[in-house]
């Protein structure tokens, strides 16, 4: 089993474990965190278990393509999730997604976790490009991505199937040379 964890000023990021199941299930059922959710809400703990088990299985492969980290306080306490999904090795890039418990919004934790994942992607995985997308109305995520150093590159029209209907997405990215500058 791969053990991978790293620390920021206030947080610890480590690969998700089955012990995180209930906290992840609660996170997926918070109305505020579901507002821009495109993945759907697991209907019960068993469905959440299948999702978490998939992430854990990804981490046990010889070549990991999806890194899903639990974000927690250094001394414990679940804050949320952040993930880095690698694309084809030809492109040497990855996409970030994240979900933070509403109790910890507007405190800089999402930005701190995203910066840590970007650092991991460029410094450890030697990626060239890291991308992220967010709904055009998700002002908090827009701020997080921009504060993390990402640049808005474009807009995809009606790409996100949300509960409220189809929504446009802003596309963000950062290059390794920008990160190192």
pLDDT, tens digit (0-9, with 9 covering 90-100), for 133-152: 999 999 999 999 999 999 99
Q: What are phi and psi of 173, to 5 degrees?
A: -160, 160
CA of 43: how far to CAs of 24, 29, 49, 97, 127, in Å? 13, 9, 11, 21, 35
How do the domains of the chain map onto residue ranges?
5-131
d(CA 155, CA 24): 30
The maximal CA–CA distance of the chain, rounded, in angstroms, is 45
Paired tokens of 12: 């610890």
pTM above 0.75, yes or no: yes
Q: In the CATH scheme, what is the homologous superfamily, with its name and number, of domain 5-131?
A: Gcn5-related N-acetyltransferase (GNAT) (3.40.630.30)
The rounded mean pLDDT for the chain is 93
Per DSSP bridges, beta strands 93-100 and 129-135 are parallel
Predicted confidence at residue 2, as pLDDT, reads 66
Cβ–Cβ < 8 Å for 59, 67 = yes
Place of tokens 């250094």: 74
Task: Give the tens place of pLDDT for each residue, 66-98.
Answer: 999 999 998 889 999 999 999 988 899 999 999
Strands 66-73 and 78-86: antiparallel
Whether 29 shows a pLDDT value over 90: the answer reads no
Q: Are 136 and 166 in contact (CB under 8 A)?
A: no
Looking at residue 34, its pLDDT comes to 75
Q: Helices 21-28 and 45-59, interaxial angle, to 10°?
A: 120
């Amino acid at each position: 089993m791969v053990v991978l964890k790293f620390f920021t000023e206030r947080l610890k990021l480590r690969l998700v474990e089955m012990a995180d199941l209930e906290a992840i299930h609660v996170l997926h059922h918070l109305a505020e965190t579901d507002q821009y959710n495109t993945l759907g809400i697991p209907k019960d703990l068993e469905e959440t278990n299948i999702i978490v088990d998939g992430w854990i299985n990804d981490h046990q492969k010889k070549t990991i393509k999806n890194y899903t980290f639990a974000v927690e306080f250094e001394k414990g306490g679940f804050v949320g999730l952040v993930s880095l999904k690698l694309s084809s090795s030809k492109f040497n890039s990855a996409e970030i997604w994240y979900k933070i418990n509403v109790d910890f919004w507007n405190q800089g934790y999402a930005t701190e976790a995203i910066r840590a994942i970007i650092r991991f992607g460029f410094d450890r995985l030697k990626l060239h490009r890291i991308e992220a997308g967010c709904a055009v109305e998700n002002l908090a995520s827009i701020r997080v991505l921009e504060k993390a150093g990402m640049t808005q590159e474009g807009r995809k029209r009606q790409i996100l199937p949300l509960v409220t209907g189809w929504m446009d997405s802003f596309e963000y990215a950062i290059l390794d040379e920008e990160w190192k500058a």
